[in-house]
Structure 1
Amino acid sequence: MNTVNNTAANEAAPDSAYGTHDEIASRNGTLDVLLNRRSIRAFTDEPVNAQDVDAIEAAAQRAATSQFYNAWSAIRITDEDLKKKLAEVARQPYVATAPLLYVFIADQHRNYRIAEAKGVAESDITYGTSFMLAQAQNDAVLALHAMETAAESLGLGGVILGSLLNNIDELIELLHLPEHTFPVLGLALGHPAQQPQLKPRMPRELQFFDNAYPSDDETPDVLAQFKDFDATVREYYDLRDASKPVAGFTDQIAQGATSDAPLKKALHSHEVKQGFAD
C-alpha cells in the first residue's frame, strides 16, 4: 500500500467535522490512497512489472461506462521515439521518461463500425453526434481515474496529462486516430522519484451543497469566501519555491478566464475531421 506520511502537506488539506485529513485517511487503504493523491512528474528507472500493468488496466476496464457503450480506448505508448514526440507536444520533457504512458481516447469509432456491420443505416447512426462524444469523454475520464487510483494503490505514482492537447492535430496524426475518436487525456505512471506536498483544496462547503446550488444573493462577496484559501494557495507555492511566487486561487482563475486554451476551439475545428457533429 502506498502510504504517505507528510505532516506539512497534510496540514494544507481541509479537515471535516468527522476528523482530520490523516484520521479520515487512516480508516482504510482506499481512503488513504485517494486522500493522499498527488501528481508525480519524476520517476525512477525501475520498470513497472507486467502483473501491475495487468492489474491497473483491468481496473480501468471496471470503471463505470454510460449505457454500457464502453466508448473509450487507451493507447499504450511503448515506442521511445513516439514518447519523445509526445513530450514535445506536451512541452514537458518528463513525459518521455515515464515507464508507462497512456493516451485515453473518446472512442465511438468501434461502436460506429459495429452498428454498420449489423446493418444499421449510416443516416440513422448517432454515434457521431457531439452528445455521443461527450458520453465517450466521460467514459474515458472515469477509466483513467480508476487506472490512476489502482496504480497508486500499488505504490506507483502518476500525473494526468492535459498538456498532450497542446496540439490536437499533431496528436491525432501521431496516434493515427480514425473518425469518431478524439484524444481526452494522457496518463504517465511509474515508481515515484519525488514526494511533493499535497496541493491544497478549497473548503468543502464551497464545493458541496445541499439540494440546490446556492444563489449569488446568498454570497454577494464571492472573493471574501476565498480569502483564506487564497492565502493557503500562495503559501503552498511559496514553500515549493519562494523565488517563483504564484498568485492565489482567485487570481489564477481570473488570469485563466481569457486564456485561449488549446481545447477552446477544438470541437469546432476538429469535429468535421474526426466525424463528430451536432
Structure 2
Amino acid sequence: MSTTITSAPAVDTLLDRRSIRRFKPDAIDSQTVDALESAAQHAASSQFLNDWSAIRITEPSLKEKLAAIGRQDYIATAPLLYVFVLDEHRNAIIAETKGVDVSEQRYTLRYGYRFSQAQNDAVLALHAMETAAESLGLGCVILGSLLNDIPELIAALHLPKYTFPVLGLAIGKPDQEPASKPRMPRSMQFFDNTYPTDDTPVRELATFDDEVHRYYDLRNAARPVDAFSDQIASIAEDETALDRGLCDAEAQGFDLGR
C-alpha cells in the first residue's frame, strides 16, 4: 500500500527557502560546520569522480576582497563563507600516479563534458549544504556575484590548473525575515513527455508578472522593480554577462571545444 507524503521536514525546509543577506555576528560552531560539510559530501557525484572542492573563507581581508568582487558588502559579514569550485586538479594528480600523462589528449577530464559534469557536482554539493544549513535554522544566500571577475577570483583563491570557480555560499544566523519570492506557475515549468509546441510556457505570464511586481512593491514601494517579463527582456540584452563567460577556462587548462 503506497502512501503519498505531502509534508515532511525536508520538504518544508525546501518550500520555505529564501535568500538571507543580513546575518547576526554569531560564529557557527565547529560541530555545525562539520555537519554542513558532511552533507555536501553526501550529494550525488557523477561516476563518483568527486570532482569538486569547496574553499572556506576565514581570513577577513579575503572576505573583503570577495565582497568587492561581488559588489555586495554583506559577503564580508557572513560568519561562514564558501566558494565551490569544479576540481579536476585532484583527479589529474591521481591519474598521474597511475601512469596517465595529463598533458596528452587522452586526459579527457579537461574537456567540455567533464567540465560540465564537475560543475553540476559542485552545484549539487552546494545545494546539499544550503538545505542542511536551512534545516538547522540558519540562513543562506548563493553568490553568483563572485563570478563578476573570474580571473580576479581565481587569483585570490590561488586556484590551480584544472579547477574553476562555480558559486559561493554565505551562511549565518538570519538577521532578517524577507518574504518568500513568488514562484512561477508550475504549468509554465513542468511538462509531460515533451516540450510543448504551443504557448503553454508563457500562458500565465501576465498573472506571474503581476505577482512578482506586487512582491517587490510590498517589499520596497520606494524602489519599484520591473515586471518579470521586462526583467527578462533587459537581461537578454545585458552585455556585461559576456565578461562572466567560460573564456577563462582555457587559462585553467580546460578545452571546452571537445
Short-chain TM bin = over 0.9
Give the aligned CA root-mean-square deviation in angstroms.
1.5
Structure 1 partner of 2:156: 174
Following the alignment from structure 1 to structure 2, what is the Cα–Cα distance between the partners of residues 261 and 118? 43
Deviations 1:160-201 (A, max 9, x none): 000000000100000000111000000000000001000011
Matched, 1:151 2:130: no
2:72 corresponds, among 71, 87, 92, to 92
> Are residue 259 (structure 1) and residue 250 (structure 2) matched?
no
The whole-number CA distance in structure 2 between the counterparts of 1:226 and 1:239 is 20
Q: Does 1:55 align with 2:35?
A: yes
Report the alpha carbon displacement of residue 32 of structure 1 after superposing the two structures with TM: 1.0
Matched residue, 1:135: 117
Change (3 A) 1:250 1:271: same
Distance 1:265 1:154 in 2: 33
Identity %: 58
* TM alignment of 1:1-278, pairs within 5 A: 24=6, 27-122=7-102, 123=104, 124-215=106-197, 218-219=198-199, 224-262=203-241, 266-268=245-247, 270-277=248-255, 278=257
Task: Give CA deviations for 1:28-74 in whole Å, capped at 9, x if unaligned.
Answer: 21111000000000000111111111001000000000010011000
**Given that residues 165 and 262 in structure 1 are in contact (C-alpha distance below 8 angstroms), is that contact kept between their aligned partners in structure 2?**
no
Name the counterpart of 1:4. Answer: none
Verify the 8 A CA contact 1:226 1:250 in the aligned structure 2. yes
Whole-angstrom CA distance in 1 between matches of 2:129 and 2:195: 31
Distance 1:29 1:129, change over 3 A: same
Deviation at 1:233, TM superposition (A): 0.2
**Alpha-carbon distance between aligned partners in 1 of 2:240 and 2:126, rounded to the nearest angstrom:** 22
Q: 1:263 to 1:191 in 2, by over 3 A?
A: farther
* Aligned structure 1 segments of 4 or more residues deviating by more than 3 angstroms: 261-265
Cα gap change, 1:265 to 1:153, in 2 (>3 Å): closer
Distance in 2 between residues matched to 1:191 and 1:231, nearest whole Å: 32
CA displacement 1:79-136 (0-9 Å, x = unmatched): 0110000000000000000000000001111111111121013311111112211111
Conserved 8 A contact 1:167-1:262: no
Q: In structure 2, give the amino acid aligned to 1:239.
A: L
Paired residue secondary structure (1:147): helix
Return the letter of the residue paired with 1:91: R
> Which ranges in structure 1 are unaligned for 5 or more consecutive residues?
1-22
- Is 2:83–2:169's contact at 8 Å kept on the other side of the alignment? yes
Secondary structure at 1:276 match in 2: coil
Unmatched runs of 5 consecutive residues or more in structure 2: none
- Give secondary structure in 1 for the equivalent of 2:159: coil
Distance 2:120 2:19 in 1: 21
Q: Structure 1: which amino acid aligns with 2:230?
A: D
Shift of 1:264: 5.6
Question: How far, CA to CA, are the matches of 1:144 and 1:49 in structure 2?
Answer: 19
**Alpha-carbon distance in structure 2 between the residues aligned to 1:37 and 1:265:** 27
Q: Take 2:148 and 2:77, find their aligned partners in 1: how far apart are those partners?
A: 19
How far did 1:147 drift?
A: 0.1
